[in-house]
Structure 1
Amino acid sequence: MTTADDWERHAAWWQAEFTEGADPEYDEQLIPLAVELVGAATRVLDLGCGEGQIARAVAAAGGGSRRLVGVDVAAGQVAEAARRGGGVAYARAGAEALPFADGAFDAVNVTLVLEHLDDLDTTVAEIARVLAPGGHLVLQLNHPCFQT
């Protein structure tokens, strides 16, 4: 599986190849779906936010009425996300130990993240812990069947 060190080594590559319009899959599918499925939630966590492109889009769609937090294990990604701004708070954290109170979020977005983690049981438990009762989990995964 992918480690934090792997993401640190590849942060610049990720930022160049998959953000700001470089990857049509994000612009045409992943970002619009995340925005739609988060719905009217006002407290949103973007888990594994990378450089923050989905977090920024969800924040913008909320018209300033959302508190959005993006977390990523890679310091380079968090620093770039903070540099790009967009009204989102960013923090460095692993998915297995989220630094938030129980029920802190109405929605948690997890896009193309779970397939890179080893400890899914702990991660899913952490997501459930920080997600408020009745909240929305937006989960987008890669599947080899759909890769070209």
Structure 2
Amino acid sequence: MGNANQKVTPFLMFSGTSEEAMNYYTSIFDDSEIIHILRYGANEVGEEGSVLHATFSLKGQNFMCIDSSVKHEFTFTPSISLFVTCDTEDEIYRTFEALSQDGIVLMPLAPSPVSEKFGWVQDKYGVSWQLNLAKI
């Protein structure tokens, strides 16, 4: 399903929740799947069973992610977000509602000068999403 010819791939670093996040995202977006998961084994630098490297796709766009084996103070920031063009009004409402659960609405769904509907949300993992329903 993913795009094997894709040359630029968003890469997300989680602190122990990457598999949970992948399962969550692939349950929300159509045309999505987890493609590959490589896990840390016993006596490796990361926590055994956590994600050393994984690939998944959302709406045909490939992503990579890991569970960081290093503790760090930083996390995701809305300064970079994933911009998703939704195909229908039902899809934008459903996706916005799902990503908003336990997250933060940065901009509620509303018409914009260039969109039928636009909304911006930071999900429960800290990843920011801009959802857009283009004008017909």
TM-score (norm 1): 0.33
Report which of the two structures shows the higher radius of gyration computed on alpha carbons.
2
Q: Which has the higher helix share?
A: 1
Larger relative CO (CA 8 A, sep 6+): 1 or 2?
A: 1
TM-score (norm 2): 0.35
